Amino acid sequence: MMNDFLFADFLDDHAVYAAVQAYWQARLAFLDGQCAPYLRTAFANGQPFYDGNPIVNLADRIAGKAARIVQQCPRECGHGYTSFEQAIELADGDGSRPAQEKIIVLTLTQATAQQAEAELRAWFAPVCPPGK
């Protein structure tokens, strides 16, 4: 069903692209203060890439964890959700350090948004020391 996609024409319309970015920002607001972007999403002149890769990128530099959501065009990709992890280097002031990155690739529906939010909530959850 094509009509359950949210912001389906985000790659064709810059206003829709901005709206979907605002949607994700609001949806992931619980990470504000803990995480900050780590990837460039615009050219040197400030023009955004507008390609959905990533639509969201967040890193908790203290925990050495990062995540990005790659949002795909529903017309080209249909329904989809996948996620995986990889080792990366996070720029850190004067150099870089190893980190773990979660990559979520999806076409946006209410269901995939909830799945991504739950996955990121768990991914960035503070690790409690044993016995606490």
Which pLDDT score, from 0 to 100, does residue 86 have? 97
Q: Tens digit of pLDDT for each residue in 18-41? A: 999 999 999 999 999 999 999 999
Report d(CA 11, CA 4) in Å as an integer: 17
What is the arithmetic mean of pLDDT over 74-88?
Answer: 95
Q: Look up the pTM and report it.
A: 0.91
Model confidence pLDDT, tens digit, residues 83-120: 999 999 998 778 899 999 999 999 999 999 999 999 99
Burial readout 16-35 (b: 16 or more C-beta within 10 A, e: otherwise)? ebeebbebbeeebeebeebb
Banded pLDDT at 126 (limits 50, 70, 90) = confident
